[in-house]
Amino acid sequence: MARLGNTFNATEHDTEQRDYEELPNGDYQLEIEASDIVPTSTGSGTILKTTITVVAPESLKGRKLFNNYNLENANAQAQEIGQRQFASLCRAIGVDAVEDSEELHFRVFTAKIGLGKPSKDGKYPARAEIKKYYFPDEGNLPEPAIDANQPARPAPANDNRPAPAAAKPAAAAAPAGRRPWGK
């Protein structure tokens, strides 16, 4: 049991339930609001986990995006991809060297968001992910906007409704004079 320290009154808070939808494809201004360094699932590497908040477009301000950067990995290709993505984030923010991930917090950057692919094992549906970082030193920062054409979004994996019952095959009738449990 854990004491809350005071009485929490649930009737004083908004309890409206909202459907979760992935961010639509488009160009966004974003900022990292939180980060954490964790070991990889095998324990043989390091991942930087980030919580990213939408700054613009205004209609989606405050929405969250979660992104991981594979900084160290026993698989050289996975490590190279993760470090390239992290270097792109740093360049988009305007940072050359990073010692602590908090140095990246609350610094606005611009990126293209797009719908990724579902997990190979089918456990997780496709989710919004960073597809491209825009670099201020190239002078090509687009205005935040949602793309006019959006991909068809798959239905949620679990809408909390039970699956329809499968049709059961008709049981074979036991021959006359025999008990169904007998051999």
- State the amino acid at position 118 in one-letter form: P
- The β-bridge partners of 146 are 26
pLDDT band at 18 (very low <50, low <70, confident <90, very high): low
**What is the rounded distance in angstroms from the CA atom of residue 64 to the CA atom of residue 165?**
36
- pLDDT above 90 for 98: yes
The answer to whether residues 107 and 93 touch, using CB atoms and an 8 Å cutoff, is yes
Q: Where are the domains of the chain?
A: 20-139
- pLDDT above 80 for 17: no
Least confident of 1-10, 18-27, 47-56, 83-92: 1-10
Q: Is the model more confident about 80 or about 155?
A: 80
Give the CATH number of domain 20-139.
2.40.50
pLDDT band at 125 (very low <50, low <70, confident <90, very high): confident
| CA dihedral sign, ordered 56, 61, 62, 68 | negative
- The β-bridge partners of 147 are none
